[in-house]
Amino acid sequence: MIEVKDIKKNFGLKKVLKGVSFTANKGEITCLIGINGAGKTTIMNAIMNLTPIKGGEILIDSERLTKETYEKITFIPDAITMLPQMKIGEALQFMKDFYKSWNEERAKELLSFFRLKEEEKISSLSKGNTAKVNLLLGLGLDVDYLLMDEPFSGIDIFSREQITEVFTSHLVEDRGVIITTHEINDIEHLIDKAVLLDDGKVLREFRTEEVRELEGKSVVDVMREVYQR
């Protein structure tokens, strides 16, 4: 389980995280929802220890982020970090050389699932295919937790569908996934938990099936209530 406990963060005088707490379980998909500027990406960066926090703590399987826990988790940013002149095959080779936890078999499977070719140059790919390569580079690692920043942002509907399909397949297996999005509509049925953020605070954290079962509400219904108060 990833436990985010009362984390705070300032950028200069601006408080970007004002005491954020939530949990994300292994084997579940937790979705951080909020408009741009709500603090989603900062939270991701804080979990990965890419940015120092001012208060609170983050525990991964009850431990603070150390070299060991760091091996359990990977972050897939919303833009590709590989050099654009690389070919897909070269990027995969780089991952293999660089990461002990790289799972070549799964990477190959993902490559054919996404219908990508190793000889294609990253710079020549469409936005949708770039997003798929980006996802592939993260999913190819044998880690317990995956953080994905806006995996559905700005890509065509068919790429979205393919990426959605990955979440329901054995390729994600029993890992814990945290994704951020500002557009929940077509993934409502996919997520276990939603964390609604605004202005550096958690407004509500809920399990999606529970809200449907106990309150007869959709995720969007709850968002409307929470955000339009």
Partner 1 sequence: MKFNKRDPVYIQVIRHFKQQIASGHYEPGQEIPSRRELANQLKINPNTAQRAYKEMEEAGLIFTEGNSPSKITKNEEVIGRIRDELISEAIDNFVTAIRPINASLDEVIGLLKEKYVEG
> Do 40 and 180 contact (CB within 8 A), yes or no?
yes
Instruction: Tell which positions 14-33 bind partner 1, by CB under 8 A.
Output: 27-29
Among 61, 188, 199, 205, which residue interacts with partner 1 (rule: CB under 8 A)? 188
168 binds partner 1 per the rule CB under 8 A? yes
Interface pick for partner 1 out of 191, 201, 203, 226 (rule CB under 8 A): 191
Supply 111's token pair: 């490559």
Query: What is the nearest approach in angstroms of partner 1 to the Cβ of residue 203?
Result: 20
Q: Considering the complex, what minimum distance in angstroms separates the CB of residue 67 from partner 1?
A: 31
With CB under 8 A as the contact rule, the residue among 90, 192, 199, 205 that binds partner 1 is 192
3-state secondary structure (DSSP) of residue 117: coil
Bridge partners, residue 141, by sequence: 102
Here the tokens at position 102 are 């790289």
Residue (167 or 206) nearer to partner 1, CB: 167
Contact call for residues 47 and 4 (beta carbons, < 8 A): yes
Region 23-82 residues binding partner 1, contact defined as CB under 8 A? 27-29
Distance CA 206, CA 195 (A): 7
C-alpha distance from residue 10 to each of 2, 17, 36, 56, 81 (Å): 22, 7, 17, 13, 26
Residue 225 interacts with partner 1 (CB under 8 A): yes or no: no
Task: Find the part of the chain contacting partner 1 (CB under 8 A) among 10-18, 97-105, 122-130, 186-194.
Answer: 186-194
- Stretch binding partner 1 (CB under 8 A), from 34-42, 75-83, 84-92, 213-221: 213-221
Q: For partner 1, which is the closer residue by CB, 72 or 160?
A: 160
Q: Which stretch binds partner 1 (CB under 8 A): 72-80, 150-158, 194-202, 214-222?
A: 214-222
Determine the residue type at 72: K
Buried b (16+ CB within 10 A) or exposed e, 109-141: bbbebbebeeeeebeebeebbbbbbbbbbbbbb
CB atoms within 10 A of CB 226: 15
Q: Where do contacts with partner 1 occur on this chain (CB under 8 A)?
A: 27-29, 164-165, 167-170, 188-192, 209, 212-213, 216-221
